[in-house]
Amino acid sequence: MKRVVLSLFLLCLAVSLSGLALAEEDPATGTVFDLEQAIAYAEANSPQLKMAKEAMEVAKAQADQARAALWPDLTLQAGVSSHDPSTKINSADTKDSYQTSATLSQPLTRSLFQQHKLAKLAYQSSSLDYQQAKEDLAFNVTRSFLDVCKANEAVAIAQEVKALAEENLNKAKAFFQAGLVVKTDVLRMELDMANARKGLLAAENNRQIAMAALKQAIGYPQEQDLSVSSPAAFPEFHFDGQTPSSLSDRYDWQKVQLGVDMAEIGVQLAKSGYLPTAYLNLNYNATDNTKITVDDGNTTITLGIQWSLNTGQKTAAQVKEAQSSLRRAKASQEAVHQAATTEILQSQLNYTESQRQLEIAKLALEIAEENSRLAEKRYEAGVGTTIEVSDAQVALEEAKYNELSARYNLYLAGIQYEKSLGRYRQEPQDQGSEK
């Protein structure tokens, strides 16, 4: 009994811990997601991802059906019949007859193997669609998640600006009462305070919009509270400035190659219409008036060939259609190669530019901070003006926002670069290999 109670306790504890691993609950802010939890939540609730997964399961079932068609078809049949010449059911002249038959049929055609291979490739293509859908979903969630994190930091900056404007306004009022500044200095600081409040309202509104977009991206109820846990540090991406020669990691490139392979098999299947169809049948029949007797049975083996002479024009048209599909698949392969190469190049250039923009933004922020500090000192010493202080604070605020945008733009550019290479959250592929 103690063991049963202990087992139930451990089971409840495991369930509780698994729930905590998915999301944390903060009494003040509601559910708190980090990036991985947001992506996991989106994957569990995305209708598009569920449809892609079910499409993959359908393709897998079709591949299994095509494989089953390669095996011989065995049919067993047994029956009994009763014959009463006198139409009396209990008559002694009633005769019972037993029949037993077994038929083993095996088509001997190459097209079955081609259809099986085609079904396997279709399953692989559907699996790539599912993985592509997961990658796109994760990228969109990541982008929305970063927008919320960026909006949170923007609100923090706006709050700092408002606090600083309030402090400067209080100083100006104190200096005015002491006769050190004129009324216009106070009015200028009041204007800065109004602008700071306006900026804070705009930042808070942008945060709400970003949060609504994130909830929509992950399928989270809009009416429920949600907050995010910003990453402590962004991972660094490294690239040597060289465009990779291989696109093998991209899902679209893998799929277009499968399309060419499938089109080639389609040509082979179409050409098989010119060839006869061979089959092998093994039939056993046994009939007895008293009991089933193997010795009374007869076995027939048939090796046949079927060839229709009226399908020449139809087969020729099917071959022409399949060859056209193959040429179209190869053209699509070339188009995907060109588009993918261009996308990789553009993502590299964007990442390089984002690196330089962040360096410039950091330098500008350092200069703006020093300029604001000096302006404050000059104003407190009585040799500076409110205009100088206000301009310095505006420049500092703009520099902070620029550094914030540059930092998040760099991280997003790095993710976009990884995605263009097909390396963003890529998982091992189930290629549907036979067991």
| Domain definitions of the chain by residue range | 29-83+95-421
419-429 per-position pLDDT tens digit: 998 888 765 44
Q: Is the pLDDT of residue 284 over 90?
A: no
Q: Check residue 206 and give its pLDDT.
A: 96
Q: Check residue 56 and give its pLDDT.
A: 93
Work out the pLDDT band at 102, boundaries 50, 70, 90.
confident
SS3 per-residue string spanning the chain: CHHHHHHHHHHHHHHHHHHHHHCEEECCCEEEECHHHHHHHHHHHCHHHHHHHHHHHHHHHHHHHHHHCCCCEEEEEEEEEEECCCCCCCCCCCEEEEEEEEEEEEEECHHHHHHHHHHHHHHHHHHHHHHHHHHHHHHHHHHHHHHHHHHHHHHHHHHHHHHHHHHHHHHHHHHHHCCCCCHHHHHHHHHHHHHHHHHHHHHHHHHHHHHHHHHHHHCCCCCCCEEECCCCCCCCCCCCCCCCCCCCCCHHHHHHHHHHHHHHHHHHHHHHHHCCEEEEEEEEEEEECCCCCHHHCEEEEEEEEECCCCCHHHHHHHHHHHHHHHHHHHHHHHHHHHHHHHHHHHHHHHHHHHHHHHHHHHHHHHHHHHHHHHHHHHHHCCCCCHHHHHHHHHHHHHHHHHHHHHHHHHHHHHHHHHHHHCCCCCCCCCCCCCC
User: Rounded distance, CA 375 to CA 312, Å?
Assistant: 92
Mean pLDDT rounded to a whole number for the chain = 81
The phi and psi torsions of 423 (rounded to 5 degrees) equal: -115, 5
Region 282-298 average pLDDT: 61
User: Cβ neighbours of residue 418 under 8 Å, at least 6 residues apart?
Assistant: 237, 424
Cβ pair 271, 109 in contact under 8 A: no
Cβ pair 299, 283 in contact under 8 A: yes
User: Rounded distance, CA 301 to CA 104, Å?
Assistant: 9
Q: Is the pLDDT of residue 220 over 60?
A: yes
Region 258-264 average pLDDT: 94
Of 187-196, 217-226, 264-273, least confident by mean pLDDT is: 264-273
Tokens of 239: 């690239």
Q: Is the pLDDT of residue 391 over 70?
A: yes
Q: Check residue 38 and give its pLDDT.
A: 94
Residue with tokens 């569990």: 44
Tokens of 92: 């002694």
Cβ pair 403, 157 in contact under 8 A: no
Percent of the chain having pLDDT more than 90? 49
Cβ pair 123, 433 in contact under 8 A: no
291-340 per-position pLDDT tens digit: 444 455 677 777 666 666 666 678 888 889 999 999 999 999 999 999 99
Work out the pLDDT band at 231, boundaries 50, 70, 90.
confident
Region 239-263 average pLDDT: 84
Q: Check residue 20 and give its pLDDT.
A: 36
**What number of other Cβ atoms are within 10 A of residue 92's Cβ?**
7
Cα torsion angle, 46, 51, 52, 56, sign = positive
Q: Is the pLDDT of residue 358 over 70?
A: yes
Q: Check residue 131 and give its pLDDT.
A: 93
**Residue 128 carries which side chain, given as an amino acid letter?**
L
**Residue 170 carries which side chain, given as an amino acid letter?**
N
Q: Is the pLDDT of residue 431 over 80?
A: no
Cross-strand pairs, 73: 105
Q: Check residue 191 and give its pLDDT.
A: 93
168-207 per-position pLDDT tens digit: 899 889 888 988 888 988 898 899 999 999 999 999 999 9
User: Rounded distance, CA 85 to CA 95, Å?
Assistant: 9
Domain 29-83+95-421, CATH class in plain words: mainly alpha
**Between 397 and 21, residue with greater pLDDT:** 397
Q: What is the pTM of this model?
A: 0.77
Work out the pLDDT band at 230, boundaries 50, 70, 90.
confident
Tokens of 284: 């056993």
Of 7-11, 54-58, 85-89, least confident by mean pLDDT is: 7-11
Cross-strand pairs, 76: 102
Q: Check residue 297 and give its pLDDT.
A: 64
Percent of the chain having pLDDT more than 70? 77
User: Rounded distance, CA 385 to CA 365, Å?
Assistant: 22
Cross-strand pairs, 95: 83
Cβ pair 390, 186 in contact under 8 A: no
Q: Check residue 33 and give its pLDDT.
A: 92
Range ranked top by mean pLDDT from 58-72, 181-195, 221-235: 181-195
